[in-house]
Amino acid sequence: MDILEILRMVFGGLFVLFVPGFIWGYVFFPGRNLDWIERVAISIGLSIAMVTLCVLCLNWLFEMKITLLNLSLTVCGLTVVPGAYILFRKFLRRKQVSNEVK
C-alpha cells in the first residue's frame, strides 16, 4: 500500500468515526468534566450512530444515493451545525457576563 492510501484511511476514519461525535459530545454534555477516555468512547459511539442513521435516512427519505460526496457533505453538516451552536452559545454567555459586569 502506498503512504497516501494509509493517510487517506486514517484521516477518513477520524473524519467519519470520531469528529462528529466529538462535537456533539460537547453539545450533549456541555458542563460536565468527562475523562478523556469517556469523551473518546462517547465520540466514537455518537459518530457511528449519527452518521449511519443520517446517511440511511437521507437515502430512504430523499432517495439520495450513498456516494463519497454525499457522505462527506453529511458528515460536514453533522460537524458544522453543532460547532456553530457551541460558538453561538459561547458568544451569548460572554455577552451575558459583560452585561452583568456593567
Closest of 75, 69, 83 to residue 52, by C-alpha: 75
pTM: 0.86
Grid coordinates belonging to 18: 470520531
Contact 60, 34 (CB under 8 A): no
- Model pLDDT, residue 22: 96
Contact 20, 75 (CB under 8 A): yes
DSSP string, 52-93: HHHHHHHHHHH-----HHHHHHHHHHHHHHHHHHHHHHHHHH
Q: Where are the domains of the chain?
A: 3-101
Residue 86's CB is within 10 A of a number of other CB atoms, namely 15
pLDDT in tens, 60-88: 999 999 999 999 999 999 999 999 999 99
